[in-house]
Amino acid sequence: MTTDTTGTAARDDEPRPGGPADSPFVRACRRRPVPHTPVWFMRQAGRSLPEYREIRANVAMLESCRRPDLVTEITLQPVRRHGVDAAILFSDIVVPVAAAGIDLDIVPGTGPVVAEPVRTAADIDRIRPIGRDDVDYVDEAVRMLVKELGDTPLIGFAGAPFTLASYLVEGGPSRTHAKTKALMYGEPELWHALAGRLAEMTLAFLRVQIEAGVSAVQLFDSWAGALSEADYRRFVLPHSTAVLAGLADAGVPRIHFGVGTAELLGAMGEAGADVVGVDWRTPLDVATRRIGPDRAVQGNLDPALLLAPWHVVEAEVRRILEQGRAAPGHVFNLGHGVLPETDPEVLTRVVALVHELSAGPVGRD
Ligand code: CP3
C-alpha cells in the first residue's frame, strides 16, 4: 500500500521520507541509522503533568480511555510539552479486558481491580473474543491522533498474557503473584487456556490499533520478572510469541517490555520483538549481549533518578547513550513509567539533552 487513506503509512515498504514510518523512532526500532537517538517515556501521559491532572479531574480513568476526544488530548500533551520522538496512546492494559466482558475498575492509587477474579474454566469462558466494534473508541482515537500527529509516530500497546492474567487471577495488584503462580503450577492446562485466551484478545486489540494507523506497538509484560527463565519459557513465552509473532506480517516494529527481567532478556527477544525493553537493573551493553545483535533496545534510566539534582540526571543520560551504542538500535527511555512526582521540566530537559548529545548520524546501515 502506498497511500495513507487508511492510516497505514507505517506499513509501506517504502516509507514516505520524513513520515512516521521513516521517523528516528521507527528507524531505531528497525536498527537503521538515525539523525539522533529517539526518546520517549513510558507513562509520559499522566500524573506528572498538571494539564493531565486538570483534564482528568472529574473523569474516571476507564471512562477517559473510552472518550476519543480525551484520549487524543491526553496523548498529545507530552508531545507538545517535551518534544518527544513518539506519542503513546493514552489507554490502559485492562481496557480490552473490560471490553471482553470482565467487570473491572481502575482504582486511583491502587490500579486495576476485578470484581470476580478469574480462576476456573467457567471464569475463562467469561472472557469473550473482541473485535473492532468492541473497542471502536480506540479505533477512533488512533485515527484522530494519526491525523493530529503528522510525522510523529504513535505507539499502540497492550498488556501481555502473564501480566493481564495476574490482575485477573489475583483480582487486583499483587506483590507476589501467588494465586497466579498457584494456578500456573497446580493447574497448567487451565493456565494455558487462560493465557491462550488472553493472547487472542491481545492480538485482536493490537490489530485494531495497527489497522487504525499506529506506527509501532509495545507489549507490556510488566510483571514477567516474577518468574524464573525456565518457568517463563514454559508458561509464558508460547503465549507472548503468539501475540508478537502473530504480528510479524503487520509491518510495524514490536517492542516487548518487562521489569526485573535481567534473566529473561534473551527469551523475551525470542518472542518475536524487534526491540526489547530493559529496566534500570541491566546496563544496555550487557542487555545487548544477552538479547543478541538482531534486536534494538529501549530503556534503562531509573524513573526515581529523575528526582535527583540535574547534574546526576545528566551524567546518567550520558552513561545510557554511551552504553546504548553497543546495541544495533537504541530508543532512549526509562526503565519503567514516569513517577507522578516527577518535575515535567526535567523530562523536557532530558529530551533536549538526548537530542543534543546524540546529534549526527548514529548507527550502521
Ligand atoms: O505510557 C503512557 O503514557 C500511556 C498510558 C498508560 C497507562 N497505563 C495509563 C494509566 C500505559 C502504557 C499503561 C499500561 C499499564 N497499566 C501497565 C503496563 C505498564 C507499567 O506501568 O508496567 C500496567 C501494569 C497497568 C495497570 C495499571 N493501571 C496500574 C498499575 C495503574 C496505576 C495505579 C495508580 O493509580 O497508581 C493504572 C492506572 C493508570 N493507567 C494511570 C494512568 C495514567 C493512573 C490513573 C490516573 O491517572 O488516575
DSSP state at residue 338? P
Residue 339 CB–ligand 1 contact under 6 Å:
no
Q: What is the CA radius of gyration of the chain?
A: 19
CB burial readout 322-334, b (16+ within 10 A) else e: ebbebbbbbbbbb
Residue 338 CB–ligand 1 contact under 6 Å:
no
Residue 93 CB–ligand 1 contact under 6 Å:
yes
Task: Using the atom order of ligand 1, give the atom closest to the CA of residue 220.
Answer: 18
Q: Identity (one letter) of the amino acid at 77?
A: Q
Cα(89) to centroid of ligand 1, in Å? 12
**Is 92 labeled as catalytic in the residue annotation?**
yes
**Is 47 labeled as catalytic in the residue annotation?**
yes
Q: What is the DSSP string of 221-281?
A: -TTGGGS-HHHIIIIIHHHHHHHHGGGGGG-S-EEEE-SS-GGGHHHHHHTT-SEEEE-TT
* Local structure of 132: helix, strand or coil: helix
Cα(364) to centroid of ligand 1, in Å? 35
Query: What angle separates helix 284-291 from helix 310-324, to the nearest 10 degrees?
Result: 30
Residue 218 CB–ligand 1 contact under 6 Å:
no
Residue 293: HSE in the Cβ half-sphere, 13 Å Cα cutoff: 2
* Local structure of 144: helix, strand or coil: helix
Q: Identity (one letter) of the amino acid at 192?
A: H
Measured by CA distance, the residue closest to atom 9 of ligand 1 is: 92
pLDDT at res. 8:
45
Residue 220 CB–ligand 1 contact under 6 Å:
yes
Cα(108) to centroid of ligand 1, in Å? 10
Task: Using the atom order of ligand 1, give the atom closest to the CA of residue 53.
Answer: 47
pLDDT at res. 302:
98
CB burial readout 256-282, b (16+ within 10 A) else e: bbbbbbeebbbbbbbbbbbbbbbbbeb
Residue 223 CB–ligand 1 contact under 6 Å:
no
**pLDDT, tens digit, for every residue of 97-145?**
999 999 999 999 999 999 999 999 999 999 999 999 999 999 999 999 9
Tens-binned pLDDT, residue by residue, of the chain (365 aa):
333 434 444 454 678 999 999 999 999 999 999 999 999 999 999 999 999 999 999 999 999 999 999 999 999 999 999 999 999 999 999 999 999 999 999 999 999 999 999 999 999 999 999 999 999 999 999 999 999 999 999 999 999 999 999 999 999 999 999 999 999 999 999 999 999 999 999 999 999 999 999 999 999 999 999 999 999 999 999 999 999 999 999 999 999 999 999 999 999 999 999 999 999 999 999 999 999 999 999 999 999 999 999 999 999 999 999 999 999 999 999 999 999 999 999 999 999 999 999 997 655 44
Q: Of 12, 16, 32, 47, which one is the catalytic site residue?
A: 47
Mean pLDDT rounded to a whole number for the chain:
95
Q: Of 22, 27, 137, 167, which one is the catalytic site residue?
A: 167
Cα(357) to centroid of ligand 1, in Å? 30
Q: Report the alpha-carbon distance of residue 324 to residue 99 in Å, rounded.
A: 38
pLDDT at res. 360:
78
CB burial readout 55-70, b (16+ within 10 A) else e: ebeeeebbebbbebeb
CB burial readout 179-190, b (16+ within 10 A) else e: ebbebbeeeeeb
- Is-contact 162 195, C-beta < 8 A? yes
The three three-digit cell numbers of residue 38, written as one number? 529517539
Whole-prediction pTM value? 0.95
Q: Of 11, 27, 56, 254, which one is the catalytic site residue?
A: 56
Instruction: Compute how many other C-beta atoms are within 10 angstroms of the C-beta atom of residue 239.
Output: 24
Residue 109 CB–ligand 1 contact under 6 Å:
yes
Measured by CA distance, the residue closest to atom 2 of ligand 1 is: 43
Task: Using the atom order of ligand 1, give the atom closest to the CA of residue 52.
Answer: 47
- Is-contact 213 10, C-beta < 8 A? yes
